[in-house]
Amino acid sequence: MTRRTRRIYLVLILLLVAGFVVDLCSGPTWFSPLTLIHPQPGLQAQTILSVRLPRALTSVLVGAELAVAGQLLQTISRNPIADPAILGVNSGANLALIVGTVLGIPFTIGARFGLALIGALVAFGVVLGLSLTRNGMQPLRLILGGSIFSGFLVSVAYAVSLLTQTTAQYRTLLVGGFSGITYSSVWLLTAILVILLIVIFCLRDSLTLLTLNDQLAQSLGSKRTGTRILAALLIVLAAGGCVAVAGNIAFVGLGIPQCIAILSGHRFKQTVSQVLLAGGAFLSFGDALAKSARPPFELPLGALSAILGGLFLFAFLWRKEGALTA
């Protein structure tokens, strides 16, 4: 590990810790960081342990899993602008949740997770089908077909919520957010993250080889089809779980891997842990801003993350372009 890499890890870990603490302290009423160590008995302690702690943990987990899902999708498609939110995976999970609950399925965390997985899997299958030609998967068709299909699913979701007069009920699903989070969501996302890390660890060399062209990857022993299928299942698992808990949150899967690629390069095995840390830190700060910018109201986290992340990515790209032309 080079000195530069160690510095990047140190900065990302410090950002993650800082984002987590800020998220715990922020809200309609700000708490001092010292309050987290010795909260006053009663309402303050209950607020921290029962409301803010599960929410802060969830923001870290969702950010990390969405970022890794985006990196996986960019790796298997060899397309730097691939993102579960752009390709309809998040929108499919979102629509399945709304339709399922309108039909009377209980809105428990288990039922939401099952519905989101089904919707994400169907949407991803449709988008992959649109991108396939006789010569294999075409990245341009993947992005164009996914963007169009994602927009279609979002429109259908809004239409269903308007027709059933449940827009307010499904606000979090439609615009993203962490209000009402409980520890059951934390345990679900933790289990998903453990599965992601185990499978990625086992496939780390094969996933790194997928960034090469197919002929070279095959000559080096990469089992392209099996690796892509497993990676696609991981993407669906991560995106479905995050949508079931936090609704449709955009940009994290697109921008965070690209920012890390600018800093550290595109090799999957060397950067996946950095992407995980950066995603968790980014969404922690985003959630803190969403719930404290205009109390007692919360800003829509999906739109906020897209705006903040887009500005952040533009700054990185501008800096990189300046470094290249200097």
Q: How large is the average pLDDT for residues 243-258?
A: 87
| Residues forming a β-bridge with 136 | 133
- The pLDDT-based confidence of 192 (bands split at 50, 70, 90) is very high
Residue 297 Cα distances to 136, 174, 270, 286, 291, angstroms: 48, 16, 40, 15, 7
Question: Hey, what are 89's tokens?
Answer: 């995976």
Question: Residue 257 above 50 pLDDT?
Answer: yes
CATH number, domain 3-325, options 1.10.12.10, 3.40.980.10, 3.40.190.10, 1.10.3470.10: 1.10.3470.10
In the numeric block, the tokens 């969501």 are attached to 185
**80 Cβ neighbours under 8 A, 6+ residues apart:** 74, 258, 261
Domain boundaries, the chain: 3-325
pLDDT tens readout for residues 18-50: 999 999 998 888 888 877 777 777 777 888 888
pTM above 0.75, yes or no: yes
At residue 140, does pLDDT exceed 80?
no
What is the phi/psi pair of residue 217, to 5°? -60, -40
Q: Mean pLDDT score of the chain, rounded to an integer?
A: 83
> Do the beta carbons of residue 206 and residue 222 sit within 8 Å?
yes
Is the confidence at residue 157, as pLDDT, over 50? yes
Instruction: Tell me the two tokens of residue 69.
Output: 């899902």
The CA distance from 91 to 279, in Å, is: 20
**Residues 269-308: tens digit of each pLDDT:** 889 999 999 999 999 999 999 888 877 778 888 878 878 7
Of 36 and 112, more confident: 112
| Predicted pLDDT of residue 326 | 46
Alpha-carbon distance 198 to 191, whole Å?
Answer: 11
- Residues 196-245 have pLDDT tens digits of 999 999 888 888 777 655 555 455 445 667 788 888 889 999 999 999 89
d(CA 70, CA 104): 32
Which band of pLDDT confidence, cut at 50, 70 and 90, is reported for residue 323? Answer: very low
Q: What is the pLDDT of residue 195?
A: 95
- pLDDT tens across 47-100, in order? 888 889 999 999 999 999 999 999 998 888 777 777 888 778 888 888 888 888
Burial of 75 (0-12, 13-18, 19+ CB in 10 A): buried
297 alpha-carbon distance from chain centroid? 23
78 versus 195: the higher-pLDDT residue is 195
Locate 159 and state its tokens.
């239409």
Say if residues 225 and 56 touch (Cβ distance below 8 Å): no
Using omega within 30 degrees of 0 as the cis cutoff, is the peptide bond preceding 296 cis? yes
The pLDDT value given to residue 292: 86
CA distance readout (Å), 273 to 43, 57, 279, 287: 37, 18, 10, 21
